[in-house]
């Protein structure tokens, strides 16, 4: 399958599974799982042909591992990044490395200096284990700046960390005092 088809399908799945399942009449459970057959039918009703083969290939080949198939292969969900309030992933608290990273655009730095990192419309702030990944994420938003996050200082303040199935680190917010520009 073409790279373009894979990319547009991945973006569509991100939109539907993270943010707007109702746009195609898809119901997600509280853990974000949706039936693949319902996803295919809902997409078709909106003029977007999907096949099980295409969905499975996107899940398998997505370099960011954004999606997960259930053990029985009948359901799919986004690994993280939800803004849908009905989805509340039950993540286990994890011990993060001493330092994590966040990529953003320079235009957001005034706000970050004031209030730290906040999740915005998402459930969590997303953090990376390495600066290169953070830089790649930040480039999507403009002139990039990579922020180093002191997780030990955050934990001393009672902040908790979780890790999504795809390795992305999640936390509720990052205080400005725990952020250093790289």
Summarised one tens digit per residue, pLDDT across range 108-161 is 999 999 999 999 888 899 999 999 999 999 999 999 999 999 999 999 999 999
What per-residue confidence (pLDDT) applies to 159?
A: 97
Query: Counting runs of H as helices and runs of E as strands, what totals does the chain give?
Result: 6, 9
What's the rounded Cα separation, in Å, for the pair 24 and 27? 9
The single-letter DSSP state of residue 19 is I
Task: Count other Cβ atoms within 10 Å, centred on residue 67.
Answer: 22
Which of 179, 181, 174, 182 is CA-nearest to residue 157?
Answer: 174
Rg (CA), the chain: 17
Give the pLDDT of residue 7.
93
H-type alpha helices, the chain: 3-14, 36-45, 52-61, 109-115, 131-138, 151-156
The arithmetic mean of pLDDT across residues 14-27, rounded, is: 96
Give the per-residue pLDDT at 122: 86
DSSP state of 94: -
Of the candidates 101, 122, 121, 104, the one whose C-alpha atom is nearest the C-alpha of residue 112 is 104
- 59-107: per-residue pLDDT in tens? 999 888 899 999 999 999 999 888 888 888 888 999 999 999 999 999 9
What's residue 62's pLDDT? Answer: 86
Could you tell me if 164 and 92 are in contact, meaning their C-beta atoms sit under 8 angstroms apart? no
To which residue do tokens 């180093």 refer?
A: 148
pTM of the model: 0.74
Count CB-CB contacts under 10 A for residue 70: 14
């Amino acid at each position: 399958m073409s790279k373009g088809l894979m990319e547009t399908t991945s973006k569509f799945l991100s939109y539907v599974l993270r943010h707007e399942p109702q746009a195609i009449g898809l119901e997600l459970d509280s853990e974000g799982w949706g039936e693949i057959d319902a996803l295919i039918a809902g997409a078709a009703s909106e003029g977007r042909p999907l096949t099980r083969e295409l969905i499975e290939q996107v899940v398998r080949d997505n370099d960011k591992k954004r999606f997960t198939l259930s053990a029985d292969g009948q359901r799919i969900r986004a690994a993280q990044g939800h803004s849908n309030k009905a989805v509340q992933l039950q993540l286990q608290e994890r011990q993060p490395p001493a330092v994590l990273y966040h990529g953003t655009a320079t235009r957001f730095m005034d706000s970050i200096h004031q209030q730290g990192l906040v999740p915005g419309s998402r459930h969590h702030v997303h953090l990376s284990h390495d600066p290169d990944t953070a830089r790649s994420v930040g480039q999507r938003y403009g002139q990039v700046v990579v922020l180093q996050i002191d997780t030990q200082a955050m934990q001393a303040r009672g902040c908790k960390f979780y890790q999504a199935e795809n390795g992305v680190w999640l936390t509720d917010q990052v205080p400005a005092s725990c952020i250093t520009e790289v």
